[in-house]
């Protein structure tokens, strides 16, 4: 049997691929999780809304460093915010983000299996 370079399933495989717009948005979303500081911020927001000042204090980092990471998280649609006077409060964007965070942390805590 000579192999012609295809397995006969390429049409079915391509039909299951998401659009480029969906993969771009998903990569941006996953990049939001792919940093220790951002992951720690998401953990702080897991069960509550937190003001930026408290995030700065909890992580012992500069306001500008935290603001940069929060901007990345906003762009990834992982967090939302509201302003109250001079304070800005952040929270997880929705239940999907909380579930993804819990799953990622749970999977990360599992021992390696060989």
Residue 106 CA, distance from chain mean position: 15
Range of the domain at 35: 13-106
Q: How many independent structural domains does the chain possess?
A: 1
11 pLDDT above the threshold of 60: yes
Q: Is residue 6 part of a domain?
A: no
Enter the pTM of the model. 0.83
Among positive and negative, which fits the CA dihedral 49, 53, 57, 63? Answer: positive
DSSP sequence for 56-72: HHHHT--HHHHHHHHHH
Q: Is residue 113 part of a domain?
A: no
- pLDDT at site 77: 94
pLDDT digits (tens, 9 = 90+) for 54-97: 999 999 999 999 999 999 999 999 999 999 999 999 999 999 99
Q: Is residue 21 part of a domain?
A: yes
Q: Is residue 114 part of a domain?
A: no
Q: Is residue 2 part of a domain?
A: no
What's 72's domain CATH number?
Answer: 1.10.10.10
For the CA atoms of 95, 100, 30, 69, the dihedral, rounded to the nearest 10 degrees, stands at 60
Tell me the average pLDDT of the chain: 91
């Amino acid at each position: 049997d000579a192999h012609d370079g295809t397995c006969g399933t390429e049409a079915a495989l391509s039909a299951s691929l998401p659009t480029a717009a969906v993969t771009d948005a998903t990569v941006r979303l996953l990049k939001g999780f792919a940093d220790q500081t951002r992951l720690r911020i998401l953990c702080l927001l897991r069960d509550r809304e937190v003001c930026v000042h408290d995030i700065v204090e909890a992580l012992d980092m500069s306001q500008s460093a935290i603001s940069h990471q929060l901007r990345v998280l906003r762009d990834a649609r992982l967090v939302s915010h509201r302003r109250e006077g001079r304070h800005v409060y952040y929270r997880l964007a929705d239940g999907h983000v909380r579930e993804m965070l819990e799953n990622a942390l749970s999977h990360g805590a599992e021992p390696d299996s060989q």
